[in-house]
Amino acid sequence: MDKPSRSRREATATAEGAIECAFRRIKRGRIDVTTATKSGGQLERTLLDGQFAVTAEITPPLSADPTSMLDRAAPLKGLVDAVNVTEGASARAHLSSLAAAGQLVGAGLEPVLQINGRDRNKLLLERDILGAAALGVPNLLALRGDPISKGDEPEATEVPDLGAADIVQVATHMRDTGTLPSGREIEAAPRVLVGATDMPIEPTSGWKPESLQRKLDAGADFIQTQFCFDADLLKRYMSALSDAGISRTTGYLVGLGPLTSERQARWLVDNLWGTVIPEPVIDLLGKATDPREEGRRIVADIARAYVEIPGVTGVHMMGHRAEAESAEIIAASCLIELR
């Protein structure tokens, strides 16, 4: 018999680590996601059951062979509700995200398919929504997309037709009415949970969450945020959302990810717009004898703290080719129980 690959061995070790945790059923109260049958996926069931959701991220490879991606995804199996498949981040080419999501379905992992407006018009969007549903992809995440000028093909033309709220509106219209926006009837409507993005900030006097409100008004079922490693700021931000009347109206997953060094943390803050990492956290990484282990402890502690913040219903672990490290943090945080 062939010897298991390293990634498969890591997956087994990670799962065993999760079993050693004290399993906790984290009840948060039912969330106002209005229909229990929008997608039939695990992420939707977790949110509707009032459990604390955990998702992670994977980037498709620059390859026609999905094997390396599936190996990287293996440590996440059994530890997350869904895996977010990025699409053209930094305007870079890679294996089709739609094809990659289909491969993950075949491997027993539930995808959240990113769909950006930068690369498609409304007609292509409608086809991709149907294609995703046909492949068994139960979740979509609407994005505007990074500027194409910084990517692999800076001379390519961006498609200015669709913002994130527009994508949400088209997808939810197709699902809920069984028709295209033009009125044509869809033979079998797509069953998908549709998400959008947000960015926690320090709320100021008179601030209103206008961008988030547009996405919710368009029909977004869940929200996923940029990196936020600051529990105190997040408490203030969620309180401001509550004051604006939109707290606990949807699944709200806060972005986290492995922190491996002081240098890496400062790079995230300097290069990824909207990333929030408090200076004391960066200082701890700089002083640590083993920064990677210290980062794992810090992020696991933050994830547990987020369980207690009203309105926060999950965490989303991000990081380029950081699937194994994300799995280790998720296991250490003890957020997932065996279902």
Q: What percent of the chain has pLDDT over 70?
A: 88
Quickly state the pLDDT bin for 327 (edges 50, 70, 90).
very high
Domain ranges, ordered by start, for the chain = 6-333
Is a pLDDT exceeding 60 seen at residue 19? no
**Alpha carbon separation from 136 to 10, 104, 127, 190 (Å, rounded):** 27, 10, 14, 10
Residue 278: closest CA among 302, 297, 260? 302
pLDDT at 60: 97
Is pLDDT above 90 for 146? no
Residues 6+ apart with CB under 8 A from 131: 98
Other CB atoms within 10 A of residue 72 CB? 17
Kindly tell me the burial class for residue 210, based on how many C-beta atoms sit within 10 Å of its own C-beta (0-12, 13-18, 19 or more): exposed
Q: How confident is the model at residue 186 (pLDDT cuts 50, 70, 90)?
A: very high
Degrees, nearest 5: CA angle 128-130-132: 65
Report whether pLDDT(3) > 70: no
- CATH architecture assigned to 6-333: Alpha-Beta Barrel (3.20)
pLDDT at 250: 77
pLDDT at 178 over 60: yes
Express each pLDDT in 285-300 by its tens digit.
999 999 999 999 999 9
